Structure 1
Amino acid sequence: MKSLVEHIAKALVDQPDDVLVTEQQEGDTVCLTLTVHPSDVGKVIGKQGRTAKAMRSLVYAAAMQEKQRVRLNIVD
């Protein structure tokens, strides 16, 4: 999951070197935190949150195949 989020985020932003994805296990849920450069936050979130929603949908779909629960947080 971590590599999927990292790959998608690096394709969206202007400063891919500042993309950082951390993974934590919280009970039966994997919590992924995506951190990008402050100037790239808008690109990752998108208009009305559509890009973030699409990214979460992809991650959730991939997690369903692995029978996992995943949460994706986006921070600047």
Structure 2
Amino acid sequence: MTLLGKTIHIAADLVLVSTCLAGIRRNTGLTLNKDFLLQDPGFQNFVGKYLEVGETVYDYSVASASSSSSFVRK
């Protein structure tokens, strides 16, 4: 696999992990404790933006599933 292919694969995996964390937050209310990671405000800002990507993908996925005839609410 080329370097570009590996980079795309890792980026997609990171987005999936962020989306899973967004789903956990939305369904349970549990969230990642950013203060636990590091005391560096720059890193905490990066983690916050990383989690926002997951929130965006989660919102888009829910909206797409809601408008699709393949999914129904119970």
TM-score when normalising by structure 1 = 0.33
Greater share of strand residues, 1 or 2? 1
Greater share of helix residues, 1 or 2? 2
TM-score when normalising by structure 2 = 0.34
Select the structure of larger CA radius of gyration: 2
